[in-house]
Each structure stands twice: as C-alpha cells, then as structure tokens.
Amino acid sequence: MLWIAAIVLLVVVVPVVVLLLNGVLQAARSIVPSVEGIAAVAAAGSRDLDAAPLLLTTQDQVQRTVGGLADYGGSLDVILDDAEHAR
C-alpha cells in the first residue's frame, strides 16, 4: 500500500504540482511585456502633453484677435451704412 502511495506521489502529484506552478509562472511572465508597453505609452502620452501649456498662448492670441476683430467691426459699423439705410 505504501508503495502505491509513493509511486502515485512521485508519478502523479509531482507532475501536477509542477504543471500548476508553471502555469502561474507563465501567466505572471506574460503580464510583464504588457505592463512595460503600457508604461512606455503612458510616458509617451505624458511627453505629448508637454505642449499643452502652449494652449494658454493660443488662448491669449485668440482673445487678442477677437478683440481686434471687435474693434475693426466697430469701425466698419460706423463707416458703412446698414443695409436697410442704403436701400
């Protein structure tokens, strides 16, 4: 009886344990490249956003442009007659 148990332990249990542990190890190792890729993409995305502060300059330029547009439009409003008046 002990012989049977010993053989089962050696032939069945040990391979099963090795198989299960190998599966866990392979799963853990397969995650590593994905995490490395995600980290690289996150770093690249962060670098892409380095130009985001330039939006403040764009905002200032747009405000100035619209301000100049309003001034120019006001001048045109004074210079040109309205369509109803011209007709």
Distance CA 28, CA 30 (A): 5
Cα 64 to Cα 55, 59, 83, distances in angstroms: 14, 9, 29
Work out how close the CB of 17 gets to another protein at its nearest, in angstroms, rounded to a whole number.
6
* Residue 15 amino acid letter: P
Q: Rg for the chain (alpha carbons), in Å?
A: 37
Nearest Cα to Cα of residue 17 among 30, 4, 5, 8: 8
The residues in 16-35 that bind another protein, with binding defined as CB under 8 A, are 17-18, 21-22, 24-25, 28-29, 31-32, 35
6 touches another protein by CB under 8 A: yes
Binding site for another protein (CB under 8 A): 2-3, 5-7, 9-10, 13-14, 17-18, 21-22, 24-25, 28-29, 31-32, 35-36, 38-39, 41-43, 45-46, 49-50, 52, 55-56, 58-59, 62-63, 65-66, 69-70, 73, 75-77, 79-84, 86-87
